[in-house]
Amino acid sequence: MKNKKVVYATMGGDLFHRGHLELIKKAKKLGDFLIIGLHPDDVIKRYKREPLIPFEDRKKIIESIREVDKVVEDCMDLREPTMFDNLKKYKVSIAVHGDDWLPPLYKKAEEQKLCRVVQVECYPYITTTKLLQEIRRTKRLNYLLEKKKKLVIVSAGDAITAKLIEEAEFDGIWVSGFEASARLGLADNGCITMTEMLNAAKTIVDATSLPVLVDVDNGYGGLHNFIRTVKEFEKIGCSGICVEDNIFPKINSLWGGKIPLLSMEEHGAKIRVGKDAQKTKDFVIVARTEALIRGYGMAEAIKRAEHYVKSGADMVLTHSRESTGKEALEIPKYWKSKIPLVIVPTKFPQLTNKQLFNAGFSVIVLANQTERVKIKAIRESLKIIKKHDSVYPVEKELSATLDDMRDLTPIREVEEIDRRYGTR
């Protein structure tokens, strides 16, 4: 290393890809001894997520690259050895980073005159995060359920909410008929069209890599309508749909008394025709019965659910609104099938997810909480603005920052494309 111009680059190197390789090649050209500061597992976990490939394996892969002379542990400034320790120890002349952004640590290193910082052009459009997103996109609801056994799915009606749900590491997204109708100024009584639900679902599918389960009410009509429903929702990349045994026009399950339901046989036929219409084996059809909701009792609810399983349903939702939660907790006791049970605990929020899972449910759908917290927050913020005749208190205490909002859009990609194509 003596008399050599030492170049230093840091990376996680998890899921090694061409972007890493190009950075290494460009870095080596800037000097004659290249050190890679590789982030250990605990460090990656703190700034990103659990690494897929353990440190020792990542180190072996990177050490085998011709241009790399040495791989050392680099813990940024989270613990020792810090990046600064390494820059000093190895008498680094140049620290290299991609030109997509520059971490503050690099700026500090330059300010402290530890070395020069050079940014090299990134290999376009590839990062570990993007690769992972692509991989996760292919992971379907049933795949995830098989792997994790218990899923919590949360409602989103817009890209921001969907991204927040992904950020908070929930398992999937529910596109709610009630929410989507309310957003369009409609009651949840079957006035929303399939196309409107399809558009709502498209936004969510595009915004996240989580599986998306869509509430398609009663499938928008008879068997032929349902065939079209299955085809359309599958085509746009939804992981599944949930279809209920309501007749048309429906009313929302959380209100109203005993009303007639579609016959068990007709709803069963809908499930059968739907399963036959889907193109991929992974598309999930959740059969939902409103028998408990409409006062037909547990025996009828279970009879219907079992019939829907025989008809090919991948999961069953026996909806309940009894507010102590006792009725819901009874459902799995009568359940003999291996087909997973889904529950929507809107009316019994006092039950924890753990209680519901322990009772025997596999999938919990939190169907409208994200929308309801928004309503309350907006209403309270407006009151404050009115009272103070100024947005300042809301801006200071209640608002997300502008940066936060901007970061929930694909602004990095937009800037990258602008830079690459000289648009700005």
Q: To the nearest 10°, the Cα dihedral for 232, 234, 236, 239?
A: 140
Site membership for ligand SPV, residue 177 (CB under 6 A): yes
Q: Which of 14, 69, 171, 188 is catalytic?
A: 188
Nearer CB in complex with ligand SPV: 98/219? 219
Could you tell which of Mg ion, ligand SPV, none binds residue 246, using a CB distance below 5 to 8 A set by kind?
none
Task: Considering only the stretches 27-35, 204-212, 224-232, 247-255, report the one whose residues sit in contact with ligand SPV under the rule CB under 6 A.
Answer: 247-255
**What is the side-by-side order of every strand in the sheet holding 33-38?**
70-73, 33-38, 6-11, 94-98, 116-120
Task: Considering only the stretches 65-73, 171-179, 297-305, 388-396, report the one whose residues sit in contact with ligand SPV under the rule CB under 6 A.
Answer: 171-179
Cα separation, 330 vs 322, whole angstroms: 11
Q: Could you tell me whether strands 315-318 and 94-98 are parallel, antiparallel, or unpaired per DSSP bridges?
A: unpaired
Nearer CB in complex with ligand SPV: 68/343? 343
Site membership for ligand SPV, residue 368 (CB under 6 A): yes
**Which contacts (CB < 8 Å, 24+ apart) does range 323-328 have?**
323/347, 323/348, 324/348, 325/350, 325/351, 327/292, 327/298, 328/356, 328/359
Could you tell which of ligand SPV, Mg ion, none binds residue 368, using a CB distance below 5 to 8 A set by kind?
ligand SPV
Q: How far is the CB of 242 from ligand SPV (least distance, A)?
A: 8
251-270 residues in contact with ligand SPV (CB under 6 A) are 252-254
300-359 residues in contact with ligand SPV (CB under 6 A) are 344, 346
Cα separation, 409 vs 11, whole angstroms: 25
Q: Is 282 an annotated catalytic residue?
A: no
Q: How far is the CB of 244 from ligand SPV (least distance, A)?
A: 7
- Residue position matching structure tokens 């679902």: 201
Q: Which amino acid is at 47?
A: Y
Residue-wise burial string across 197-231, b where 16 or more C-beta atoms lie within 10 A, e elsewhere: bbebbbebbebbbbbbbbbbbbbbeeeebbbebbe
Could you tell which of ligand SPV, Mg ion, none binds residue 40, using a CB distance below 5 to 8 A set by kind?
none
Nearer CB in complex with ligand SPV: 112/369? 369
The site for Mg ion (CB under 5 A) is made up of: 177-178, 215
CB 368 within 8 A of CB 374: no
Nearer CB in complex with Mg ion: 177/211? 177
Q: Within 10 A of 82 (CB to CB), how many other CB atoms are there?
A: 16
Number of Cα atoms under 13 Å in the Cβ half of residue 255: 7
Could you tell which of ligand SPV, Mg ion, none binds residue 254, using a CB distance below 5 to 8 A set by kind?
ligand SPV
Q: How far is the CB of 367 from ligand SPV (least distance, A)?
A: 4
Could you tell which of ligand SPV, Mg ion, none binds residue 82, using a CB distance below 5 to 8 A set by kind?
none
Could you tell which of Mg ion, ligand SPV, none binds residue 314, using a CB distance below 5 to 8 A set by kind?
none
Nearer CB in complex with ligand SPV: 92/351? 351
Q: Which residue is nearest to ligand SPV (CB)?
A: 176
Site string for ligand SPV, 212-241 (x = CB under 6 A): ---x--------------------------
Nearer CB in complex with ligand SPV: 109/292? 292
Catalytic residue IDs:
188
Q: Report the interface residues with ligand SPV, using CB under 6 A.
A: 176-178, 188, 215, 252-254, 344, 346, 367-368
